[in-house]
Amino acid sequence: MGWSKRGNGRSYNSLNGYATIIAFLSGKILDYADRIRKCMHCEKGRKVDDHDCRKNFNGSAKAMEADAGAALMNENKVLKETNLAARVLIGDHDSSTIAAFSVYINPTRIIDVQASVHTGLKNIRGDLYLRGNKILSIPLKDALQSFRQFLNLSSKPCLLVAHNENFDKSHLLRAILKCSLVESFNIIAGFSDSLPLFKNHFGSNKTPGEHKLSTLAVKHLNVKLDDQFHEALYDVKILEQLVSLTNEDHLFESSKSYNACLTHITKLNITASTMQHLSPLKGIISDRILEKMASVGIKYEDLLRIYQTK
């Protein structure tokens, strides 16, 4: 990928980007694509249909590479005409097409001390630091769009696998809902949890923490326990290696659909919001009953109004 304006490592704001896909063995260019963020005619108020408008991209300059890469892989005329599908994408180590989800998101709140111990991340006056070094972070919506573009490299729906998935899945779905990108992620077929799979495959000695990702990796992959764990990209690679040692069919059999998970998280959000309206009853009614009331939308104000009318 090339840009009209060079980034400085901290800022990427080029208005144009250009990408090609090149066959590994022949060295021939199979296709090319451009990503243009601005049209001078449109900026002057002219209608789109009265000039040759070349604007075709609304994301950030950094997100151009992943978007163009997905298009070149999935919409390539040469591959379609010969009925071929690209299975391996080769890129440099810094390629956002390869690691579209390996980005850091702008912090919006203080990071818990215990979380900082595990991840090495700290929010210092609105800037993100990793083990004492300031790192580049991007807005949540840009990160999600890059992740979506990475998923779009697959021509088939994706099953997302996480270890103890409830934590990662709920954060991802809440972010998708917050940024109004639900339809953009329809490529996600569903979610599956590797924890039950590993418990079944590797067995259990009833030892605390025996099925943690790091513990399993040290035992079955002979890797060293170091501070790379809890870095997203490294954890994903470790998870992939551990899953390859098992029967992957269980992941599909135990998966939950994207729409079902969205419905569930939406209900949880509604319940959490309604629980705030039931705070006067906390300690009077059990938490379990309060949760049931909140799940069907009952508020303290509703109860009070009904009581007063009688």
What pTM was estimated for this model as a whole?
Answer: 0.63
For residue 60, name the pLDDT band (cuts at 50, 70, 90): confident
The pLDDT assigned to 7 comes to: 64
The model's pLDDT over 37-55, given as tens digits with 9 standing for 90+, comes to 999 999 999 998 899 999 9
DSSP string, the chain: -EESS---SS----SEEEEEEE-TTT--EEEEEEEE---HHHHTT--GGGTT------S-TTTHHHHHHHHHHHS-HHHHHTT---------TT-TTTSTT---BPP-SPPPHHHHHHH-EEEETTEEEETTEE---B-HHHHHHHHHHHHTTSSS-EEEEETTHHHHHHHHHHHHHHTT-TGGGTTEEEEEEHHHHHHHHH-----TTTTSHHHHHHHHS-----TTTT-HHHHHHHHHHHHTTS-THHHHHT-EEHHHHHHHHHHHHHHHHHHGGGGGGBTTB-HHHHHHHHHTT--HHHHHHHHHH-
Residue 101 has pLDDT above 60, yes or no: no
The pLDDT assigned to 64 comes to: 81
Mean per-residue pLDDT, 236-248: 89
Extents of the domains making up the chain:
1-99, 265-309
The model's pLDDT over 133-142, given as tens digits with 9 standing for 90+, comes to 888 788 888 8
The total of other beta-carbon atoms located within 10 Å of residue 144's CB is 21
**% the chain with pLDDT above 90:** 27
Residue 69 has pLDDT above 60, yes or no: yes
For residue 102, name the pLDDT band (cuts at 50, 70, 90): low
Mean per-residue pLDDT, 6-14: 65
